[in-house]
Structure 1
């Protein structure tokens, strides 16, 4: 299954193509998407994205993971989290969220097995 395109992004609002729900923060992978609820793993801007935030996306067979750090890049991504992803043989790319969505959608257009986690506010 292909990864779904991110149809739109604005402050606090993301829309994934083919999904009737809109998200504040979201996770996407080949064949699906869901809300990224930080309360599930105790995530906060600092120390930031933890391996537990990524596990469900990484299990979907992605070859590349794109992380969106927020519109003002307030969400941290610790080196230990990047190492965790790389040790699984997955390419990881981290950007400000608008740039992350552009990168993710470009990879989708190329037919890549790409997943992503995106923070749409600060």
Structure 2
């Protein structure tokens, strides 16, 4: 049986909680059956140029149908076209939104059983 995508339980400035995890994340990656902290230092991510293909590769490889990318509360985090193209080439639907909107969209899709 395929694992369900965990819902985002709560969101506030600099804090995110994911269903099924006791951790509080600053930034996180979520996929069907799990989540983990997203440390920008792993790939040298900065607000600009933003989310790189290397940042989303791990989640893309978990068999997601849709990937929702939050740009931060004040939308300071950029998502370049190269990252969107990388995901679309793998048949993944990409949604880039302000973080509060991204969480609402993610939870609505998760409730419908979409693999996120």
Shared fold, TM over 0.5: yes
What runs of 5+ residues in structure 2 fail to find an aligned partner? Answer: none
What runs of 5+ residues in structure 1 fail to find an aligned partner? Answer: 115-122
1:44 maps to 2:46: yes
Measure, in 2, the Cα distance between the counterparts of 1:16 and 1:90. Answer: 22
Aligned to 2:93: 91
Measure, in 1, the Cα distance between the counterparts of 2:83 and 2:32. Answer: 21
1:50-106 deviation line (CA, Å, top 9, x unaligned): 000001101110000000000000000001111101011100000000000000000
Which of residues 54, 57, 68 is equivalent to 2:56?
A: 54
TM-score by length of 2: 0.97
Aligned to 2:36: 34
Measure, in 1, the Cα distance between the counterparts of 2:59 and 2:85. Answer: 16
Higher strand share: 1
Runs of 4+, deviation exceeding 2 Å? none
**CA RMSD of superposed structures (Å):** 0.4
